[in-house]
Amino acid sequence: MPFSWVYRAIIALRRASYRAGYLKSVSCSVPVIVVGNVTVGGSGKTPLVAWLVAHLEAAGMRPGVVSRGYGGSAGRSPVIVGTDSRAGQVGDEPLLLARRTGRPVCVCADRVAAVQHLLRETDVNIIVADDGLQHYRLRRDLELIVIDGERGLGNGRLLPAGPLREPAARLAEADLLFINGQAGEIPGYVPGYAPDHLFELAPGRVRALHGTQSRDLGEFNAGPVWAVAGIGNPERFYALLADSGIDYEPVAVADHGMIDLKSLVVEHDRPILMTEKDAVKYPEQSAADVWWVPVDVRMTEETESVVTSKIKQMETAVSRRMNAGSR
């Protein structure tokens, strides 16, 4: 708890410095949407970012994505992520987004530099910042905060005494608050911070790591499988397999980590099922009989309409700001 109190003081001082203007936020020439969370660990943020990019593109916009590239070696020099990039250089989540969306993705520890690089090198006209909620140097025009409905806010305490990166009251500042999971009691969460919207992650056809073969997830319930989930909340992946009637044995993998897949097959020759985030980290020749499970965001038409409305309001506000700045 003492360290948590120190962490709280640092957060408060940093936020106050931005509000007072001692630390400067940088505005961009295009709208910026930030998608993030106030807790550590997985919340379903990356699939929601992929959904949002597709939603923007369907509306006639040209979205680009910026990310810190956690787990990669890109550092402070902006790097455009290609579909043939390596996760060790650009990070697994940015590589997943580049492959899933087909839109430009740039990684850099400095999100402002990443945005500026995208604007110079590509045709993007709107930016989605993946996991940039605490990167206040980048001015945002719309904030989406994602909460894992199963784990919620945990014990409600800040790091390192709890899972929170920022106080729970930070949720009140969100333009849109998304909860990943079914409605019900959410640990540590008190409704009323901001209007919240539910979404779910539904599995698609399972795809082979090597080749183009695909299968229904239910086809793997004939025998035991290895379950590889190097994500923030592997229990969600295990629950997905269990719900499909699959007998699985979990494999311990650190978040963003890798393991030797061939050693699993040596121990027990059985299929390996992994998440999409894991799949981008392994070369196709890693092992035979390796499959990854894509997940897609599912939400109501009403929620989609709310998102569309918020984006239109944001565009209007940005246009007014730009016009005022040009006078």
Q: Are residues 181 and 212 in the same domain?
A: no
Structure confidence at residue 147 as a pLDDT band (50, 70, 90): very high
CATH number at residue 28: 3.40.50.300
> How many alpha carbons lie under 13 Å from residue 317 in its C-beta half-sphere?
12
- The pLDDT score that the predictor gives to residue 194 is 65
- In angstroms, the CA 105 to CA 69 distance is 10
User: pTM for this structure?
Assistant: 0.93
Q: Are residues 98 and 227 in the same domain?
A: no
Q: Are residues 82 and 215 in the same domain?
A: no
Residue by residue, DSSP assigns 52-118 as: HHHHHHHTT--EEEEE--TTSS-TTS-EEPPTT--HHHH-HHHHHHHHHH-S-EEE-SSHHHHHHHH
The amino acid occupying position 13 is L
- In angstroms, the CA 101 to CA 65 distance is 10
pLDDT in tens, 178-230: 999 865 667 776 666 666 899 999 999 999 998 889 999 999 998 899 999 99
The boundaries of the domain holding residue 12 are: 2-200+299-320
Asked if residue 151 belongs to a domain, the reply is yes
- In angstroms, the CA 194 to CA 145 distance is 10
Q: Are residues 42 and 154 in the same domain?
A: yes
pLDDT in tens, 236-257: 999 999 999 999 999 989 888 8
- According to DSSP, residue 214 is labeled E
Q: How many domains does the chain contain in total?
A: 2
Token duo for residue 65: 């994505």
- According to DSSP, residue 81 is labeled P
Asked if residue 326 belongs to a domain, the reply is no
Q: Are residues 170 and 217 in the same domain?
A: no
